Amino acid sequence: MRLNELSSPVPVVDYDIASRNIRRLQQYCDTHQFRLRPHIKTHKLPFFAHEQCKAGAIGITVQKIGEAEVMAQTGLADILITYNIVGREKAERLANLTNFARLSVAIDNERALESLGWAAHRASTPIGVLVEFESGGNRQGVQTPEQAVALARAILGHSGLEFKGLMTYPTTTKTAEFLRESLPQFRKSRIEVSVVSGGGTPGAYQTHELAPVTELRVGTYIYNDRMMMAAQAANLEDCALAVLATVVSRPTIDRAIIDAGSKTLSSDLLAPGQEAGYGLLPDYPDAIIARLNEEHGIVDLERCVRKPEVGERVRIIPNHVCVVTNLHDQIYLHRNGDVLAQLPVYLRGKTN
């Protein structure tokens, strides 16, 4: 089957590009002796998680227990959950999961620790715990080395929990700063920090210059997207996923309507000051996907000399590929336009 026989809109993945992206980052990690623990948020597929592990990754990263459950059920044995597990219901699922996979969890507060402690009492195997610290992302994580040491000490007080080390997102120069201040305090407290886990695709290949982490968590590198291109972390030929859409209307000379709207591409935009629009049309680089309704993409053709006709298929490199795979029940894997497989996106929608 050829790609153009698929009903549009549909996300398709070039298998050779994805495989090359997997190999390239693994090589970088091997060269610099980083352990690679890919984040599955981008592909959401057991298939590619296994391919990443076969290439040399030590395990995978997920954010939600529902994601860990699917991955454990499909043979992934080493899973890091970089998310505060809070509450009894999730703690129980975590405890159950220890029957099927080696688990670790990154937390930043006592309430999450309480839940982990409760889970540890019911777990089949010890649960590893990392302390998340903030590296300037203004998201979450403890704010000071003192808080990190205090939380690590509290973790050590729980039988069934194993303190593993530190985790942050993204890896920045602030990561190095935090480590420079905190690692001596851990040594003084005789607390071993065996893992320092950093993350983020844009700076992945600069990690060795950024901070002394031991482990890389990266997701987007496998597919790449327009955001990675804007961050100069990828070129068009590194983008493995495209959405195929069809022009369904040409109401005016300068406007095309495609059958891919926000339910297909998401509403994620690039950062202010970067390229406009809701995706890149590589075959019509001067076209701008100016607006999205749920099922309509409104494409401004004003700057295009050649303009697509009704019925024509167009390729779209999405702005943010991770949210696109979350919108679709399946993706199609291809090589040179030949469909190799239809892959259900098993982890789609696993938000809890």
Binding site for its own copies (CB under 8 A): 5, 7-10, 41, 63-64, 83-84, 86-87, 89-90, 108-109, 111-112, 134, 138-143, 246-252, 255, 257, 259-260, 262-264, 266-269, 291, 293-296, 298, 309-311, 322-323, 326-329, 349, 351-352
For residues 125 and 102, give the distance between their C-alpha atoms in angstroms, rounded to a whole number. 8
Shortest Å, Cβ 111 to its own copies: 4
Please say which residue, 310 or 341, places its beta carbon nearer to its own copies. Answer: 310
- Give kind and range of the element (H or E) at residue 217: strand 215-217
For residues 298 and 278, give the distance between their C-alpha atoms in angstroms, rounded to a whole number. 10
Please say which residue, 24 or 296, places its beta carbon nearer to its own copies. Answer: 296
A 10 A CB-CB count for 326 gives 17
Shortest Å, Cβ 247 to its own copies: 8
Cβ-contact 213, 207 below 8 angstroms? yes
Shortest Å, Cβ 85 to its own copies: 8
Shortest Å, Cβ 141 to its own copies: 6
Shortest Å, Cβ 82 to its own copies: 9
- CB-side exposure of 337: number of CA atoms within 13 Å? 4
Cβ-contact 15, 334 below 8 angstroms? yes
Cβ-contact 220, 188 below 8 angstroms? no
For residues 138 and 135, give the distance between their C-alpha atoms in angstroms, rounded to a whole number. 8
Cβ-contact 37, 80 below 8 angstroms? yes
Please say which residue, 174 or 255, places its beta carbon nearer to its own copies. Answer: 255
- In the 8-state DSSP scheme, what is residue 173? H
Shortest Å, Cβ 291 to its own copies: 8
Please say which residue, 208 or 296, places its beta carbon nearer to its own copies. Answer: 296
Please say which residue, 84 or 224, places its beta carbon nearer to its own copies. Answer: 84
Shortest Å, Cβ 108 to its own copies: 5
Distance, CA of 22 to chain centre: 13
Shortest Å, Cβ 23 to its own copies: 26
Residue 289 backbone dihedrals phi, psi, to 5 degrees: -80, 90
Please say which residue, 86 or 183, places its beta carbon nearer to its own copies. Answer: 86
Please say which residue, 215 or 268, places its beta carbon nearer to its own copies. Answer: 268
Q: Is the sign of the CA dihedral 275, 279, 282, 288 positive or negative?
A: negative
- Beta-carbon contacts of residue 51 (< 8 Å; ≥ 6 apart): 19, 22
- Beta-carbon contacts of residue 73 (< 8 Å; ≥ 6 apart): 100
Cβ-contact 257, 299 below 8 angstroms? yes
> Which tokens sit at 175?
């990561």
Please say which residue, 85 or 317, places its beta carbon nearer to its own copies. Answer: 85
For residues 130 and 199, give the distance between their C-alpha atoms in angstroms, rounded to a whole number. 14
Please say which residue, 29 or 333, places its beta carbon nearer to its own copies. Answer: 333
Shortest Å, Cβ 74 to its own copies: 18
